[in-house]
Amino acid sequence: MKFKFALLVSVLASMVLTISCNKEGKKGGSSSDTFNFNLTQQPTTLNPLSSTDFYASQVQGYIIEGLASRDVETYEWKPALATSWEVSKDGLVYTFTLREGVLWHDGKPFTAEDIKFTFDAIMDPENKYKTAHSKSYFENIEYCKVLDGGKRVEFKAKKKYFANFDVVAGMGVVPMHLYKDPSEEQEKELNKTLVGTGPYTFADWSRGKFIVLEKNKQWWGNTTYPKEHNFARIRMRFIKEGNIAIQRLEKGDLDFNSLTAEEYVKKTSGKKWGKSVKKVKYENSAPKGYGFIGWNLKNELFKSKEVRMALYHLVDRKKMIEKYDYGLRLPATGPWYQQSIYADPKVKPVAFDPKKALELLRKNGWKDTDGDQVLDKVIAGVKTPFRFTILEPNKEFTKYLVTFQQDAKKSGIDVQIKVVEWNTFITLLNERKFEAVRLGWSGGSVDYDPKQIWHSDSAKNKGSNFVSYENKKVDKLIDQARDTLEREKRIPILREAFRLIAEDVPYAFLFNSKFGFYGYSDRLERPGDTFKFGVGMEYWKISQ
């Protein structure tokens, strides 16, 4: 779904592949007409109803469409599966006129019933389609109704919510004939393939290596938006190691690769850079993601806010940014990116302060009573050492965690780091089987709604509030913000929520990006380095 936040392995990410380009077979495509870019991670599932990670959403964005789509320069809605729409005077009814003649990639006609089914599947009270992460956005929508023999659809909202239109307009529509009541075997197939109406069709998934998409010659947008989606074929590779990704870019096996600040500064200065391959540092107004260490708040170790703040005081982000990011990132201040108009500018970064950390730990009864250099405390009648494991899905990020690990050890806290494969990581996250996790969130929307991540309702049914954060005042503020239609009135409400969540320290908020970085092949033609609200790869093409 295009409106939701998605999980990122890292806000730094780059990844790896070991297969040679000329051995990928017919479906891999030729180098002359194929855009090769590094997806950086294999999706857990491609099912657009149940998927939660950023990597699946990247693939789905080329295949699955909504009724409207965002303009990358203006951020305004523009027609997609709907050609036009009307909003009632009370702002509660949204009527969309559907585009005629659209086909699913398997040749079946797209219909209004597909839209109604998608909405009903998301809202299914039994959650059989595993859509708990999406429900918070749609809870204000009362129904989806088919009108005029299928030429239009109507959504009726129960009450005003500033993003009601965005939710229904951006809902990624799936084909009812494939997703309604699939058998167990069919459901497995839906996890590893995709059928949509969009500009690209799904061609191949070579597990652990790449996904290939091919241009949809019957896409309705080929005439409506002739400057968009110009590649004959797209190959998304899963390259886990940054150094190898850069080597593949230099060799011409990749046309595009996102870069970390360190890679941009230190690892892109070879003889080919500036010639056959180039690099870009850009800044735009797109929502920014952020990384974090999340504490399982059901775990006795992390139930005290003061203890969580003590741990935060042991995260030397200044050193990390200087050493690994060359000063090109910002220490995060709270639960969404600090450049957002909804972030309270009065909230400052938590400083690295081991002395303060130890004071807070002692205040909460943590002492080294047996001389083993690890703090301990009696919890529920049992002497408990302050020892926990952070799950990490990206091996390259461990250098940041090692810095934290070393500083925590000096204060008597034994931190272990365990690198976990992505699919396993997501399973452990959903089942709440972790002590601490290091992860990231994508940026979401410009007009931020924190409910998916920070409302206590989102802790249920494997929702996105996997750390089980609960604060009744924050819940109330989030609900109030959702009911506030005017942006200027919503800003102070969400800034207060931002401050309260930051004070509760459910995460150790790590970094905010100021700049983006990428490398690209000189065979690409681009209108520019970036648009206002995104890089705009949909406007790129391969030089002839």
* pLDDT given for residue 449 in this prediction: 92
Q: Which of 381, 442, 337, 367 is nearest to 40 (CA)?
A: 442
Beta-bridge partner residues of 237: 38, 210
State the span(s) of the chain assigned CATH 3.10.105.10. 290-513
**DSSP labels for 250-298?**
HHTS-SEEE--HHHHHHSS-STTBTTTEEEEEE--SS---EEEEEE-TT
Q: Which residue pairs from 179-186 have beta carbons closer than 8 angstroms and sit at least 24 positions apart in sequence?
A: 179/49, 179/117, 179/118, 179/121, 179/129, 180/117, 180/121
- CATH architecture assigned to 290-513: Roll (3.10)
1-22 mean pLDDT: 36
CA-to-CA dists, residue 96 to 152, 183, 412, angstroms? 5, 32, 60
* Distance from chain centroid for Cα 487: 24
CATH 3.30.1050.10 fits 1-62+198-283+515-544, yes or no: no
375-381 mean pLDDT: 95
Q: Which of 28, 196, 1 is nearest to 110 (CA)?
A: 196
Q: Which H or E element spans position 160?
A: none
482-494 mean pLDDT: 95
Q: Of all residues in the chain, what percent carry a pLDDT higher than 70?
A: 94
437-466 mean pLDDT: 89
106-122 mean pLDDT: 97
* pLDDT given for residue 52 in this prediction: 80
Q: Of all residues in the chain, what percent carry a pLDDT higher than 90?
A: 82
Q: How many CA atoms lie within 13 A of 158 on its CB side?
A: 9
Residue length, the chain? Answer: 544
Residues 6+ apart with CB under 8 A from 98: 67, 81, 82, 83, 112, 115, 150, 151, 152, 153
Q: How many CA atoms lie within 13 A of 35 on its CB side?
A: 25
* pLDDT given for residue 4 in this prediction: 46
**Number of CB atoms found within 10 A of residue 58's CB:** 18
8-state DSSP, 374: S
pLDDT higher than 50, residue 77: yes
C-alpha R_g of the chain: 24
CATH 3.90.76.10 fits 65-180, yes or no: yes
pLDDT higher than 80, residue 18: no
379-396 mean pLDDT: 95
- Are 521 and 248 a contacting pair, CB within 8 Å? no
Alpha helix ranges (H) inside 237-282:
242-251, 261-266
* pLDDT given for residue 13 in this prediction: 31
* pLDDT given for residue 12 in this prediction: 34
Pairing of strands 233-237, 34-38: parallel
Ranges 148-162, 276-290, 441-455: which has the least confidence: 441-455
**DSSP labels for 308-361?**
HHHHHTT--HHHHHHHHSTT-EEE--SSS-TTSTTS-TTPPPPPP-HHHHHHHH
State the span(s) of the chain assigned CATH 3.90.76.10. 65-180
pTM of the model: 0.83
- Are 133 and 453 a contacting pair, CB within 8 Å? no
* pLDDT given for residue 240 in this prediction: 87
Q: Which H or E element spans position 148?
A: none
pLDDT higher than 80, residue 362: yes
- Are 78 and 64 a contacting pair, CB within 8 Å? no
* pLDDT given for residue 15 in this prediction: 24
Two tokens at 35? Answer: 């855009």
* pLDDT given for residue 24 in this prediction: 40
458-470 mean pLDDT: 89
Q: What is the pLDDT of residues 181-226, one digit of tens each?
A: 888 898 899 999 999 999 999 999 999 999 999 999 999 999 999 9
Q: Which H or E element spans position 8?
A: strand 7-8
* pLDDT given for residue 31 in this prediction: 61
The SS3 call for residue 178 is: helix
Pairing of strands 290-295, 507-513: antiparallel
**Number of CB atoms found within 10 A of residue 489's CB:** 12
The SS3 call for residue 472 is: helix
- Are 23 and 43 a contacting pair, CB within 8 Å? no
Residues 6+ apart with CB under 8 A from 312: 350, 505, 508
* pLDDT given for residue 14 in this prediction: 27
Q: What is the pLDDT of residues 508-521, one digit of tens each?
A: 999 999 899 999 99
**DSSP labels for 411-437?**
TT-EEEEEE--HHHHHHHHHTT--SEE
493 versus 11: which is more confidently predicted? Answer: 493
Calpha distance 290→423 (Å, rounded): 21
Q: What is the pLDDT of residues 256-296, one digit of tens each?
A: 999 999 999 999 998 999 999 999 999 999 999 899 999 99
